[in-house]
């Protein structure tokens, strides 16, 4: 396949490090600031070319010491609790008032003591911090054990801007789903410098799709098709649920897909970039990790929809099938080049669908590369067909998350006789929550149901 270079995009608009703006529109440099705040679109840029969003979490060595910021914290009552009315099938999480003390935490860690309520209703939880499991521009994530229940949890600590409510916390309180990591508790703390930190106590899930995929690649193996189907299906189910409430995740990637390898249940995590998209309200386009970034974002669209998540699903699915990223762009503009090498030059109508600000353009005509040549000849046709329906230039032409779940690629999961390679049962796939499918078209709901067991 011919290697195209980014400069051929020059007549298309103004090039920036991570995208292009429409002709006549001044290029804006992305702000490299703190975490996304509920009151505005502020995002931190990653230095890793494959991970532009702020949620990339590099794995840390188990023996790494806990940060100094964990010491000397005084927890205080939450002064701006989230008061949003929740839907019947949503769940609220209590905000704890408490304090941090030095203690005999395991592996040289500390004990976090969090309390809520007063008098007879007062509850206290102690968390023994064990090791850092991730860190990034957003803050730090560490593994801990609740001493009262012996349960292992993940605690995500982020710096809180006092001017805003934390959007991630608001959204985590709204979602309750088998395929979304569960928020158990949360509490605030202040340091001697009067810095406020939010601690999100989350269920701990030991592995990620990223690490599982890398393990197969290192051994020159392809991920078993049943796992590709399970992970993609559950990812779509999680997205179908949040999209119903207008929530867009905006950073779908293998690192944010947690997996319990005992039964291969998947949990979507890291809602640090997530946002409720409101029609007519602008959003930043400098979002989503690069390899998984939808083309409308590269074109600088600010009125995008949850279809950007669906594009990311297509990229993840293709990566699991190929054993490597589908579109490994070295920059935002080069990302578009990688996409064009496969999908061909977008038509005028497709460009308008991605960003209406583009009215006139000059663009070399590149023919699309046949999907059958992108993937191995041994790749099942239904797998290739699903990828092609997710990776469409025009956002409105992409499958919705629930539509994708009905695709024949997943029919094996609807067969009651299907088991995991070790002979164990599949994870729960059809345990629909009350109201989960209420707004889904009837024809799609019918196709989502498992087949009846043969007698």
Q: Which residues are catalytic?
A: 251
How many other CB atoms sit within 10 Å of the CB of residue 76?
A: 14
DSSP string, 409-448: GGGGGG-TT---TTSPPPPP-S-PPTTTTTTS-HHHHHHH
CA 108/CA 65 separation, integer angstroms? 8
CA 439/CA 190 separation, integer angstroms? 43
CA proximity to 56, closest of 67, 48, 64 = 48
For residue 173, say whether it is annotated as part of any ligand binding site. Answer: no
Q: Token digits for 4? A: 């195209």
How many other CB atoms sit within 10 Å of the CB of residue 282?
A: 11
Cβ 200 vs Cβ 244: under 8 Å = no
Helix/strand/coil for 190: strand
- C-alpha torsion angle, residues 438, 439, 440, 443 (rounded to 10): 80
Cβ-in-10-Å burial (0-12, 13-18, 19+) of 232 comes to buried
Please give the annotated binding residues for ATP, written as ranges: 157
């Amino acid at each position: 396949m011919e290697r195209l270079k980014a400069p051929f995009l020059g007549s298309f608009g103004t090039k920036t490090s991570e995208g292009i703006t429409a002709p006549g529109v001044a290029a804006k440099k992305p702000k490299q600031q703190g975490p996304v705040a509920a009151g505005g679109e502020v995002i931190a840029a990653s230095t890793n070319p494959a991970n532009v969003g702020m949620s990339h979490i590099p794995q840390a060595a188990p023996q790494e010491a806990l940060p100094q910021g964990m010491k000397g914290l005084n927890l205080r009552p939450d002064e701006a609790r989230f008061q949003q009315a929740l839907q019947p099938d949503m769940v609220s999480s209590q905000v704890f008032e408490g304090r941090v003390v030095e203690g005999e935490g395991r592996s040289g860690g500390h004990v976090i003591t969090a309390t809520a309520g007063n008098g007879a209703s007062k509850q206290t939880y102690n968390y023994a911090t064990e090791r850092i499991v991730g860190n990034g521009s957003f803050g730090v994530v560490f593994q801990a054990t609740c001493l009262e229940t012996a349960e292992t949890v993940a605690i995500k600590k982020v710096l809180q801007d006092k001017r805003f409510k934390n959007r991630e916390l608001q959204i985590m309180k709204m979602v309750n789903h088998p395929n979304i990591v569960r928020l158990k508790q949360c509490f605030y703390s202040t340091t001697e410098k009067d810095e406020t930190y939010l601690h999100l106590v989350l269920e701990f899930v030991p592995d990620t799709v990223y690490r599982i995929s890398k393990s197969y690649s290192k051994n020159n193996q392809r991920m078993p098709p049943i796992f590709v189907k399970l992970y993609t299906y559950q990812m779509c189910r999680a997205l179908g649920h949040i999209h119903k409430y207008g929530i867009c995740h905006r950073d779908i990637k293998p690192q944010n897909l947690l997996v319990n390898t005992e039964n291969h249940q998947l949990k979507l995590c890291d809602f640090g970039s997530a946002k409720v998209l409101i029609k007519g309200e602008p959003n930043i386009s400098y979002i989503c990790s690069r390899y998984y970034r939808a083309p409308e974002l590269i074109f600088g669209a600010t009125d995008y929809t949850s279809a950007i998540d669906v594009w990311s699903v297509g990229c993840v699915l293709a990566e699991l099938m190929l054993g490597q990223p589908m579109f490994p762009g070295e920059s935002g503009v080069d990302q578009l080049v990688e996409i064009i090498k496969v999908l061909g030059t977008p038509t005028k109508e497709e460009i308008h669908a991605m960003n209406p600000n583009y009215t006139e353009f000059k663009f070399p005509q590149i023919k699309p590369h046949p999907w059958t040549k992108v993937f191995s000849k041994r790749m099942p046709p239904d797998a290739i067909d699903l990828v092609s329906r997710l990776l469409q230039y025009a956002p409105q032409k992409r499958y919705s998350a629930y539509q994708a779940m009905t695709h024949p690629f997943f029919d094996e999961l609807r067969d009651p006789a299907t088991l995991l390679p070790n002979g164990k049962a599949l994870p729960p796939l059809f345990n629909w929550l009350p109201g989960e499918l209420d707004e889904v078209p009837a024809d799609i709901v019918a196709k989502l149901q498992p087949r009846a067991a043969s007698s």
